[in-house]
Amino acid sequence: MSDLLVDLSQQPMFRQAVKQLGLPLPMPEKLRRPRGPWEERPLQDRNVVVFAGGALAEVFARTLAPAGATPHVVGEAVTAFVAPGEAWGRPPVAHAPGDTPPEGLRADALLFDATSLRSPADLRALYDAFHPWIGHLGRCGRVIVVGRPAQGFTNAAAAATAAALDGFVRSVAKEVGRKGATAHSVFVAEGAEARLPALLRFLLSDRSAFLTGQPWTLDARVTHDGKAPGVRPLEGQTALVTGAARGIGESIAHALAAEGARVVCLDRPGDEGPLAQVASAVKGLMLALDITDPDAPAALRAFVRDPANALGHLDVVVHNAGITRDKTLARMSPEYWDQAVAVNLTAVVDLTTALLEDALGPQARIVCLSSVSGLAGNVGQSNYSASKAGVVGYVRALAPAIAERGMTINAIAPGFIETRLTRAMPAMTREVARRLSALGQGGEPRDIAELVTFLASPGSAGLTGQSLRACGGMFIGA
């Protein structure tokens, strides 16, 4: 479904009329989303302003130039960008701290290294850096602040300073959201710096269009060979997507296939028609299976191990299947409660347990779909919210246990996404839900698919046990 307000906001005459009449209408910016598979230089000709006073100047330099960006470096760290700039034809542009940004320069991204901040007084560096530049951030731009995790400090003042970065970034996300721009905080544990480039490429690119106000934590718990292909990252891998017949699941199947994966498309019996269409479109396999059936885990494991299917094992598992059975608790039937929990949580646990026996590859990626309702709760969704919060807890608990096998598991909590389910909402409820985000609009199924694809890729090895919101900076939840 098209968002009429987003479409109208692209018309200069409409924008001017709203402004002149003083109408209380938000003017959401149409987000810049990519078409097609991953590209080698996703930041081609983008101006990235870098404040690199900490330990990450060389990491930033090795990330930006190969991705096609032109680094504008504020401060003395510009020397770290010279060699990569020469190698990739992207020489750095130097700026002195405190200088007024050049007239006419629009920044596509502002990237700040906060790893050296250790006291509340050090936070002034955020103001000094961003104050003159934030107004030069272009439409659909990016703001990224990279620091150390607060948990890594024994000094309370240093931990407080690190934690402050999250609040700063969440506020910035809401300030720049009106222009379609986003902001993120990235916390890199000591020893995990080599895992930062892949995440930066993703967050700075158009593939993260609907993600904002999100903290990301990178660590080195999961063994990794260091390989993070910039194109076709899933070449030769096999992936399972549940609930693949339509909507978000269908979009995920297409996205994974576009990056080289052979996709097993799973959905319930009775949906064989649309399921077969999706499987055929992505040149994958279809499996009609009721995931709540007690025999489903064994049946899925047997399907994967069956030599006739030539799968061997799964490299990616996406638990996308989910249902809602909404009623207030006083009016809810026991069947509604049981159905929601069985599909949204029990099946996730049981299928994963079965696959972990011998049906997953040594560096498998598991992605589970949660929901912002699982983080914040929602009226009439006590069963759904409980099940989706359970997914978050499951991911957090399982991550350490499978890290030594080189495997990761993460959850995604979507906000309002334009699907057939949201189309069924009353018009006013739908409109309010769209505007409850910093970006002032709902997401699209491909926004979730892009995040799933990144989490399924080898470059996501530094992320595990996390619950990542894909909600456009929604104003509910933590």
Query: Beta 238-242 vs 408-414: how paired, if at all?
Result: unpaired
CA distance 406 to 403: 5
CA distance 244 to 82: 47
- Confirm whether 336 is a catalytic residue: no
Instruction: Find the catalytic residue in 127, 336, 384, 394.
Output: 384
The tokens describing 26, both together, are 């938000």
The tokens describing 402, both together, are 């499978």
Q: How many CB atoms lie within 10 A of CB 235?
A: 10
Angle between helices 382-403 and 347-358 (to 10 degrees): 20
- Contact by Cβ (8 Å): 78, 65: no
- Contact by Cβ (8 Å): 408, 434: no
> Which residues are the active-site residues?
384
